[in-house]
Structure 1
Amino acid sequence: MSLPHALEYAGTAVFAVSAVLAAGRKGLDLLGVAVIAVMTATGGGTVRDLLLGRTPFWFTDTGYLVTILVAAAITVLMLRWRHPSERVLQIADALGLALFSISGARIAEAAGLPGLIVVVMATITGTFGGVLRDVLCNDIPLLLRPGTIYGTAVIAGATLYVLLQSWGVERTPAGFAGMALIAGLRLIAIARNIQLPVLTIKEKP
């Protein structure tokens, strides 16, 4: 299995776990949990593939769906013994974010797109599944929560990935560096409660 495929499989599994945790907090039934898991784990990659004129990745390789459902089932079973905190959901989402984003960047890069579009595709791949998850669970998407370092982390990591290659670094170590930066920024922001400045416009009295 190539590295891009390994990244996508790992990303789908981790996003499925985060989706089950989110669905469990909302008290959804097993069908609802499965729907949320599939939408979360495939949403970003599907939008990316459609924009690139590709057949959605999980249409041609049903192993992704199997991975999602197995990861979701294992998580459901584990929840019978232990109920994770909100922090666990955030950590799972951060890992999925890093894996999926760089996977999306590699696919966009293979299509011959310029660096800026590679970063855009990475951001879509990494964040859109989480947006679907939060919308379906009736939450404000993490991507849009004021001050949250989420999409910003993806942009930083994908930009590092592109820049390192332009400086002569090979694709694989550049990819791992990008993933480390994405996950690191997100996890540090969670642990330290670091937020971006928020734009506020005061109304005239």
Structure 2
Amino acid sequence: LRYVYIKGNEILKSSYLVNNLHIGNNTKLDNQLKVDVYNKLMKDPFIAKSSVAIIKPDTLYIDIKEKVPLCVLDFNNKQFVFSSSGQYITDRIDSQKLNIDKILHIKMANLTPQINNKNVILALVDLYKKLDKLEKISYIRMEDNRFEVFLENGIMVKANVLNCDYNKSIGRLETIWPKLLPDIEKIESVSICYPDRIIIKWKTKEINSGR
């Protein structure tokens, strides 16, 4: 063995993949090597598929298909990576092994068993992306069947985990947002997932708005 050619990796660094295979110049190129390399590759949580071939006289050819990361949930000094389908990948992240700087990071105040539901993860990311365009998000808390989104300006936005049209709800919020900004310090929370309105809870009273 003189050369290792790796194709298809964008998240996993090639240097990490090669080192993790524990092969060297004295490694014999045969079918057993192909089996061993394949088995090692498939143990990596980021790899969905892989194929291994030998190109005589001295090259090992590896083609992999990675699970595409959708987001990283940052909680309690740990990072939980989820795929584009909303499925959990891993919480073992090493910058020496992975290129994840460009992946969406969401700071969480807590995590509940609902993160095992891929639809919840997809809804969380959808809500985050839409709200963050309106106002920068500090962190999110999961409470029963509700997301509580804490914005950097101090307002908390409440949204259903599921069964909420975020496009419509956040669009409605966007239309009244300029009118709310002067009174930020007076607002406790804004609930956006009612069918035809937004509920603004003031620190002293509660009113309906945005019909």
Q: What interval of TM-score do these two structures reach, taking the shorter chain for normalisation?
A: under 0.3
Q: TM-score, structure 2 length as denominator?
A: 0.26
Q: Larger % of strand: which?
A: 2
- Higher-RCO chain (CA-CA 8 Å, sequence separation at least 6): 1
Which structure has the larger Rg? 2
